[in-house]
Chain A
């Protein structure tokens, strides 16, 4: 549970502090007043990176050299302090004042699941969005995954570069052999982790999706680009083709995730509302998986809660019970069915300042 949050020179915030409620926090304010930046701050503090941008540059307040994020977290009585400093040169993360040598040692200790309008693109968008979803969520469950993923990406870059340097007729190249084997070595670990994750996610979704939707035959399927054991061989077989294209045509960087109603791909038949429900169900399943391993993650609902009807708002909060700390942003309280909430705290945000804090319930 996050009991104290500070954002310094982060996005629009100069020096922001907040004392959240242990259960539900409503962050209310007009557009572009800084609501989302608070959630983005919590997410960045937790995972070392934002769900909004690839690079840290935009997170640092204009004209400032660095941003500092600090959070005090209590779990099981002992408070823990998390700090993340972002600069244009890189980032530094510490837990209880001890600097962490690698970001992979830091990310995933304080876990967060964000529900954002961008989630729709996991269902509607391209395979890259779906791989992004897999990567972010698996990283929180499996500490080794982050390292394997970055090694895989590095080796992929090296192999692609080598393919470009050679002539299409250079099919015998010992360096390509080696890079291919190393790539397949890490690729295998990614495929295994993704398959295991999707299997666990599927089991959760069988329970969650029907509770939110009329459609009862929704399912997801991992679609790996290659079999776990066959990557190395396929890389050799398709080498001539890869040489022509100057890039690697098979591997986990080409994986996808399929969403179906029965046998029909969701994308072809689902309405906007159904897509929203799927996105919601996916994230709820992730929350369940994380909560199963340790304590429940922080849940951030960025502009998605007020989009739901009364029934779904109730169901969503119902699923999240059991000590889950929730942060919700909305433009006003009118779209939120307060009777479903129990006790909560409202923060009114205007021009990057908290104008008022009120406790209810």
Chain B
């Protein structure tokens, strides 16, 4: 078992640190937390974000804008949007992106659950926020196609230069997308 991003040296530091600085109850708390992750954390039954309840805090929060759903690939993308604080609607976590060559088809993602949600509640807008990778784009276009005969407004987040970005350092693809997605000011 290996954590991503932890190489040999860091792993050594972790091991030595716990040996030198952990007290007896630290070990207990550590293993307890680890077990709780396994036993109590699960996907929210509505949006798929991880939670220790049946429905996550965001889905239960009635003060949030119930008319919008933002679709992301992974739970950690929800954390990023929440840190930004600009978005006050709901989420839907797909659990990955479409990639037949990796064995991921529509049935492997939470797409059926998404359609179900849209059928059961009158959401007005679905914002597709999958990555600007080939697979992210395929996934967004796929969802858009499934919904093309419905009343739901399907939008895609804008692409382009990052905040503070320098036009002269941007690559051709980013610039092309930024031009495509330009808007009137």
Of the 9-residue stretches A17-25, A69-77, A157-165, which lies at the interface with chain B? A157-165
**How far apart sit A159 and B101, CA to CA, in the bound complex (Å)?**
8
Q: Tell me whether A310 is interfacial, beta carbon within 8 Å.
A: no
Give chain A's interface residue range (CB within 8 Å of chain B).
20 to 34
Q: Tell me whether A116 is interfacial, beta carbon within 8 Å.
A: no
Partner of B172, one of A144, A154, A158, A159: A144
Main secondary structure of the interface of A (DSSP, over half): helix
Partner of A174, one of B101, B146, B171: B146
A155 touches B134 (CB 8 A): yes
Partner of A182, one of B101, B105, B134, B171: B134
Of the 9-residue stretches B68-76, B119-127, B137-145, which lies at the interface with chain A? B137-145
Q: Tell me whether B162 is interfacial, beta carbon within 8 Å.
A: no
Contacting residues of chain B (148-185) with chain A, CB-CB under 8 angstroms: 171-173
Q: Tell me whether A151 is interfacial, beta carbon within 8 Å.
A: yes
A178-B145, A181-B141 known; A151+B134 contact, CB < 8 A: yes
A143-B172, A182-B138, A182-B141 known; A158+B146 contact, CB < 8 A: no
Q: Tell me whether B4 is interfacial, beta carbon within 8 Å.
A: no
Main secondary structure of the interface of B (DSSP, over half): helix
A178 touches B99 (CB 8 A): no
A174 touches B145 (CB 8 A): yes
Q: Which residues of chain A are within 8 angstroms of B134 by Cβ–Cβ distance?
A: 151, 154-155, 158, 182
B98 touches A175 (CB 8 A): yes
Q: Tell me whether B96 is interfacial, beta carbon within 8 Å.
A: no
**How far apart sit A237 and B99, CA to CA, in the bound complex (Å)?**
23
A158 touches B141 (CB 8 A): no
**How far apart sit A182 and B140, CA to CA, in the bound complex (Å)?**
12
Minimum distance in angstroms from A275 CB to a CB of chain B: 38
A177 touches B172 (CB 8 A): no
Give chain B's interface residue range (CB within 8 Å of chain A).
10 to 19
A155-B134, A174-B142, A175-B106 known; A147+B101 contact, CB < 8 A: no
Least CB separation from A155: chain B residue:
B134
Contacting residues of chain B (78-102) with chain A, CB-CB under 8 angstroms: 98-101
Least CB separation from B99: chain A residue:
A158
B142 touches A175 (CB 8 A): yes
**How far apart sit A174 and B106, CA to CA, in the bound complex (Å)?**
10
Q: Which residues of chain A are within 8 angstroms of B172 by Cβ–Cβ distance?
A: 143-144, 147
**How far apart sit A151 and B106, CA to CA, in the bound complex (Å)?**
21
Interface centre among A105, A178, A182 (most CB of B within 10 A): A178
Q: Tell me whether A179 is interfacial, beta carbon within 8 Å.
A: yes
Minimum distance in angstroms from B184 CB to a CB of chain A: 26
Q: Which residues of chain B are within 8 angstroms of A143 by Cβ–Cβ distance?
A: 172
A161 touches B100 (CB 8 A): yes
Q: Which residues of chain B are within 8 angstroms of A161 by Cβ–Cβ distance?
A: 100-101
9 shortest A-B CB distances, which residue pairs?
A: A161-B100, A162-B100, A178-B141, A161-B101, A174-B145, A178-B142, A158-B100, A157-B101, A158-B101
Listed in ascending order, the chain A residues whose CB lies under 8 Å from chain B are 102, 105, 143-144, 147, 151, 154-155, 157-159, 161-162, 165, 174-175, 177-179, 181-182
